């Protein structure tokens, strides 16, 4: 009996971040992203609720606690894209102050890893060198061109989807 082999692995196709099957197995949820960011920012549950509320989405500490629980734990609640976006928009306001117009953007209904990386870059007011230094702290090699491809419009020919591993490493770099 032969073991089943993923077609991409059988063809020897690997991404720069590992085999395609490894990437598919390590799905990072919005809850995981918030949990990692909370740790990287060294914030407690109340602080996360306050940051999220700065975006106009009133959030309680109990709600944050339910988002931070592991799937399957009693009281767990899925964190939607728009709620994670509200947290990231609140983080931008906390780190950089409100927009000069006073307007708060409406949360995105679909939040990609690219959008999350962009919002973190904006919150920290990072330029390319700052981004690369953050990845370096996490011992992750990425070129300026690769990084730039994550910020392009999705219709641009050089656009690339940001893999979860890249987002994980960036958040890890923020915590170091």
- The pLDDT tens digits of the residues spanning 37-86 come to 999 999 999 999 999 999 999 999 999 999 999 999 999 999 999 999 99
Distances (CA, A) of 119 to 83, 132, 145: 14, 16, 19
Mean pLDDT of 8-25: 42
pLDDT of residue 146: 96
Where do we find the tokens 């995981």? 32
How far apart CA 68 and CA 149 sit, in angstroms, is 31
127 by Cβ neighbours in 10 Å (0-12 / 13-18 / 19+) ranks as: exposed
CB atoms within 10 A of CB 159: 14
Mean pLDDT estimate for the chain: 88
User: Could you tell me if 120 and 174 are in contact, meaning their C-beta atoms sit under 8 angstroms apart?
Assistant: yes
Provide the whole-model pTM.
0.84
CB proximity list for 40: less than 8 A, separation 6 or greater:
171, 172, 174, 175
Give the start-to-end residue ranges of the domains of the chain.
29-111, 125-176
| pLDDT confidence tier of residue 26, bands split at 50, 70 and 90 | low
């Amino acid at each position: 009996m032969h073991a089943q082999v993923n077609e991409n692995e059988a063809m020897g196709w690997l991404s720069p971040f590992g085999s395609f099957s490894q990437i598919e197995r390590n799905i990072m949820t919005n809850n995981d992203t918030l949990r990692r960011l909370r740790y990287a920012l060294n914030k407690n549950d109340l602080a996360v609720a306050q940051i999220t509320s700065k975006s106009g989405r009133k959030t309680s500490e109990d709600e944050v606690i339910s988002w931070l629980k592991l799937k399957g734990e009693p009281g767990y609640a899925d964190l939607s894209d728009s709620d994670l976006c509200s947290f990231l928009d609140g983080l931008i306001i906390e780190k950089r102050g409100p927009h000069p117009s006073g307007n708060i953007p409406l949360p995105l209904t679909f939040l990609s890893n690219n959008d999350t990386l962009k919002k973190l870059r904006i919150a920290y007011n990072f330029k390319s060198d700052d981004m690369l230094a953050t990845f370096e702290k996490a011992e992750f090699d990425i070129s300026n061109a690769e990084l730039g491809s994550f910020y392009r419009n999705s219709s641009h020919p050089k656009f690339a989807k940001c893999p979860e591993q890249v987002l994980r490493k960036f958040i890890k770099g923020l915590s170091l």
